[in-house]
């Protein structure tokens, strides 16, 4: 029997119908309900992205990617402008292994991936490496938390942010979410603070199914869920999709734990 046999899990992330979380849950035997609670609106044109990339080359340059989507946008803009991301002369930082994997597929392995996959860990690692006087480019979502650029500027870095996209509520999903919430659910997964906030907007006070657990990809997402009034039952120790899948197996699988579960570290 598969670990999540007969479990029903709601996935809220954008693009969830075809991504690795939904696929992984199905491989583990879960019935997956997919309601992407947010969409992304592109903000920066390719020319502006390519100009930012060109401006941040050389031994003193650092480029920080905090999402796989940011990597895809920058790589596509670079290719369109005849700039090979794989040949960029800069220190490339990926917030976690998922982002690093997309970067490697674009032809340029990350130089730095922090031990824990949150903005604070990225800042700690770069400050430890020495960023005073270095030019740091941060192409990311418009609603990204300020902790990373603030920490780097305090350490003496010259930080330039470029807002590539903005997430927004997928209002057309309201009927779909309302339908999902009246069915039995074993867990709802959240992979970012944005998914929590947009879920709450769409939920509009509707109750969660009895016994439904809240599963978060990491502590920042868990903090957002708690701020929204949800007790968090499952947190991935490794803040990746793989870690979240492992944590769900630990929390919902055979011999499930009765209390909160933190699981999913590297094996």
1 part of a folded domain: no
248 part of a folded domain: yes
Residues 66 and 133 in one domain: yes
C-alpha separations of 228 from 77, 127, 137, 160, 203 in Å: 36, 32, 32, 31, 11
Q: Tell me the pLDDT tens digit for each residue of 219-257.
A: 889 999 999 999 999 999 888 888 999 999 999 975 444
pTM for the complete prediction? 0.78
Q: Are 10 and 213 in contact (CB under 8 A)?
A: no
Q: Are 49 and 162 in contact (CB under 8 A)?
A: yes
Domain count, the chain: 2
54 part of a folded domain: yes
Of 167, 185, 207, the residue that ends a domain is: 167
3 part of a folded domain: no
pLDDT > 50? residue 3: yes
Q: Are 186 and 7 in contact (CB under 8 A)?
A: yes
2 part of a folded domain: no
The Cα 178–Cα 190 span in angstroms is 17
Residues 111 and 150 in one domain: yes
Q: What DSSP designation does 115 have?
A: S
- CATH number at 200 reads 3.40.50.10090
Residues 225 and 246 in one domain: yes
CA dihedral 63, 65, 68, 73 (to 10 degrees): -50
Of the pLDDT bands very low, low, confident and very high (cuts 50, 70, 90), residue 18 is low
Q: Tell me the pLDDT tens digit for each residue of 157-169.
A: 999 999 999 989 8
Number of H helices, E strands in the chain: 10, 11
* CA R_g for the chain: 19
Of 167, 193, 213, the residue that ends a domain is: 167
121 lies in which domain range?
Answer: 42-167
- Closest by CA to 152, choosing from 66, 263, 31, 261, is 66
181 or 144, which is more confident: 181
Residues 129 and 154 in one domain: yes
Of 167, 185, 220, the residue that ends a domain is: 167
């Amino acid at each position: 029997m598969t670990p999540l046999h007969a479990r029903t899990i709601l996935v809220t992330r954008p693009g969830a119908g075809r991504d690795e979380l939904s696929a992984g849950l199905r491989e583990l035997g879960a019935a997956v309900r997919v309601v992407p609670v947010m969409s992304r609106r592109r903000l920066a044109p390719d020319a502006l992205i390519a100009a930012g990339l060109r401006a941040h080359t050389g031994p003193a340059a650092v480029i920080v990617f905090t999402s796989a989507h940011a990597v895809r946008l920058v790589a596509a803009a670079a290719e369109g402008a005849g700039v090979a991301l794989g040949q960029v002369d800069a220190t490339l930082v990926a917030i976690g292994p998922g982002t690093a994997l997309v970067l490697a597929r674009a032809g340029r392995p990350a130089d730095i991936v922090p031990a824990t996959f949150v903005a604070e860990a990225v800042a700690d690692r770069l400050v430890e490496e020495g960023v005073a006087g270095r030019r740091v480019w941060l192409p990311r979502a418009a609603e990204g938390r300020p902790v990373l650029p603030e920490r780097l500027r305090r350490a003496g870095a010259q930080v330039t942010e470029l807002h590539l996209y903005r997430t927004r509520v997928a209002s057309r999903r309201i009927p779909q979410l309302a339908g999902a919430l009246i069915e039995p659910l074993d867990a709802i997964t959240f992979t970012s603070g944005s998914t929590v906030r947009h879920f709450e907007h769409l939920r509009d006070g509707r109750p969660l199914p009895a016994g439904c657990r809240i599963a978060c990809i990491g502590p920042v997402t868990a903090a957002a869920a708690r701020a929204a009034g949800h007790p968090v039952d499952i947190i991935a120790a490794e803040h990746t999709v793989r870690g979240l899948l492992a944590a769900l197996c630990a929390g919902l699988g055979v011999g499930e734990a009765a209390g909160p579960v933190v699981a999913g570290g590297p094996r």
